[in-house]
Amino acid sequence: MTDPILPGFYPDPSICRVGDDYYLATSSFEYFPGAPVFHSTDLLTWTQLGHAFDRESQLRLEPGGASGGIFAPTLRHHDDRFWLITTNASQARAGHMILTAEDPAGPWSDPVFTDELDGIDPDLTWDEDGACHLTWSCYQPGLNGIAQVPIDPVTGRSLGAPRLIWGGTGLAWPESPHLYHVEDWWYLLIAEGGTERGHCISVARARTIDGPFEGAPHNPIFSHRSMNSPVQNAGHGDLVRTADGDWAMVYLAARPSGITPGFHVNGRETFLAGIDWVDGWPVVRESRYDVPSIDTSFIDDFSTTDPSPRWISPGPPISSWTSRGPDRGIRLAAAPGDGPDRRLLAVRIRDAAWTAEAVVDTSTGTGRMVLRLDDHHWCAVVAGEDAVVAELSIRPGTLEIGRASRPGTEAITLWMRATVPAPVHNAPVGPDVLELGFTTAGAHVSLGSFDGRYLSTEVAGGFTGRVVGVSPDSGTVELRSFSYRGDREPIGVSE
């Protein structure tokens, strides 16, 4: 299976079902709102409902904390409520965060914090007696591996001492534990090997939720390591029993491309597989589902009352520095000074080849279109008063890759596009070519292009993927409309 059900950086998926409805949440790191929540009735097509963290009283993120913030969540439904547990990796000593909601579209509660249970990837599971257990990837000395503690999920308080329940098969980083009660067994599904090319999924089982757990003789039960597949880094799975009684698994994977070692630019994405039970163990059926290609294109003129949940920011909440135009458009106010809280209104890149355009009015300020991996790996089309400049910033420098005078100061369309290059002399090159430019008064100006590998995770590191959007540099910039189209002819920037 090569197509994700959630393209773009939506990693660490967790899924649950209520009747015929499926719900899924992913990690979101330094971006706010955080922990996006999705809905589906067929596991194949998903609609974003919103985010579990959508107000500052729930979550304060460190500005510029690349790949910090909200790590892997677990989403469950119990006692007629939805439960989400996760870790703010920038404040991990505060404990894991438990949120609840009647409606997964929100509002979600303010978080309740657990005790300081050092580690990540917390899971909540209720046993046959209704007791709740927190199981997580523990870093505490003596408990290194998958640990578990009985917990009161309402208060967050531990109701016993943490215990190591499985150390995994011996591969690095046993993490992302999830538990399932199937017939007479409790199954513990984990990821191992690290979230890179060695990623895999292993399973163990026990007669009781707290073990002792015995690993499957054929672990890992799923991996793409050392395989010749366009889908790599496969791991971090969560199982769900389907409405018709079968089983499925969501998992994360990346789609690196280009010359070795391969570069993935859109982060780790969410994929879907089938699950069969054979001789008392889950077996992954990777190609069971025919995932439809997803139309990721949109044009947003900000005329709707509520902003689409697609918009995120790696800094302060969007509402704190934006305001809506009288009937359409959105005004972006630049941050005072040059603080780290880069104000960027952005969306995830979800395709290999794409075009994005921002129509901006800079009559009351200056601003830029930005493609960001993190604060040290980005490129921009900067609309100044009399010139438009294309920049590429790779720590520690920022390179000007093109400049043109700006005819007039009326609204201007800033654009970027990514194309997938053909191999040169049969040798693959970078994952894509990024071209930056602008269009104004009918003049279409390409400012320059560069090899997109420099804005890839293999170069920058981290857990996220590219986002594209608009950032105010000074004063107030009005974003009249933003359009994104995947894998088709560029919108309005044809030569």
- Residues near ligand 6LW, by CB under 6 A: 11-12, 27, 71-72, 120-121, 175-176, 191, 195, 235-236, 252, 463
Rounded Cα–Cα distance for residues 414 and 359 (Å): 6
Composition of the chain by helix, strand, coil, percent to 5: 5, 50, 50
DSSP character at residue 335: P
The dihedral through the CA atoms of 383, 386, 389, 395 has a sign that is: negative
Rounded Cα–Cα distance for residues 234 and 11 (Å): 11
The dihedral through the CA atoms of 68, 95, 34, 251 has a sign that is: positive
Tell me how far, at minimum, the Cβ of 377 lies from ligand 6LW, in Å.
18
Tell me how far, at minimum, the Cβ of 464 lies from ligand 6LW, in Å.
9
Radius of gyration over alpha carbons of the chain, in Å? 23
Task: Please say which residue, 125 or 476, places its beta carbon nearer to ligand 6LW.
Answer: 125
Q: Closest by alpha carbon to 101, among 132, 75, 71, 129?
A: 75
CB 454 within 8 A of CB 420: no
Tell me how far, at minimum, the Cβ of 86 lies from ligand 6LW, in Å.
9
Tell me how far, at minimum, the Cβ of 272 lies from ligand 6LW, in Å.
16
Task: Please say which residue, 211 or 267, places its beta carbon nearer to ligand 6LW.
Answer: 267
Task: Please say which residue, 175 or 432, places its beta carbon nearer to ligand 6LW.
Answer: 175
Q: Is 473 a known active-site residue?
A: no
How many C-beta atoms lie closer than 10 Å to residue 183's C-beta?
7
In this structure, what token pair is assigned to residue 449?
Answer: 């292009």
Q: Closest by alpha carbon to 134, among 82, 69, 83?
A: 83
Tell me how far, at minimum, the Cβ of 235 lies from ligand 6LW, in Å.
6
Expressed in angstroms, the distance from the first to the final Cα of the chain is: 36
Q: Closest by alpha carbon to 96, among 77, 123, 78, 131?
A: 123
Task: Please say which residue, 54 or 175, places its beta carbon nearer to ligand 6LW.
Answer: 175
Phi then psi for residue 91, to 5 deg, are -140, 45
Tell me how far, at minimum, the Cβ of 67 lies from ligand 6LW, in Å.
8
Task: Please say which residue, 253 or 418, places its beta carbon nearer to ligand 6LW.
Answer: 253
DSSP character at residue 307: P
Task: Please say which residue, 270 or 355, places its beta carbon nearer to ligand 6LW.
Answer: 270
Tell me how far, at minimum, the Cβ of 267 lies from ligand 6LW, in Å.
9
DSSP track, 204-226: EEESSTT---EE-TT--SEE-TT
Task: Please say which residue, 9 or 186, places its beta carbon nearer to ligand 6LW.
Answer: 9
Rounded Cα–Cα distance for residues 457 and 463 (Å): 8
In this structure, what token pair is assigned to residue 317?
Answer: 């909440």
Rounded Cα–Cα distance for residues 173 and 193 (Å): 6
Task: Please say which residue, 83 or 321, places its beta carbon nearer to ligand 6LW.
Answer: 83
User: Helix (H, G, I), strand (E, B), or coil: what is residue 194?
Assistant: coil
The active-site residue out of 30, 175, 286, 478 is: 175
Q: Is 357 a known active-site residue?
A: no
Task: Please say which residue, 72 or 248, places its beta carbon nearer to ligand 6LW.
Answer: 72
Phi then psi for residue 47, to 5 deg, are -120, 130
Rounded Cα–Cα distance for residues 413 and 443 (Å): 10
Tell me how far, at minimum, the Cβ of 304 lies from ligand 6LW, in Å.
31
- Give the HSE-up count for residue 321: Cα atoms under 13 Å, Cβ half-sphere: 25
Tell me how far, at minimum, the Cβ of 134 lies from ligand 6LW, in Å.
15
Rounded Cα–Cα distance for residues 330 and 382 (Å): 18
Q: Closest by alpha carbon to 126, among 186, 71, 166, 184?
A: 186
Phi then psi for residue 383, to 5 deg, are -95, 100
The residues carrying an active-site annotation are: 12, 175
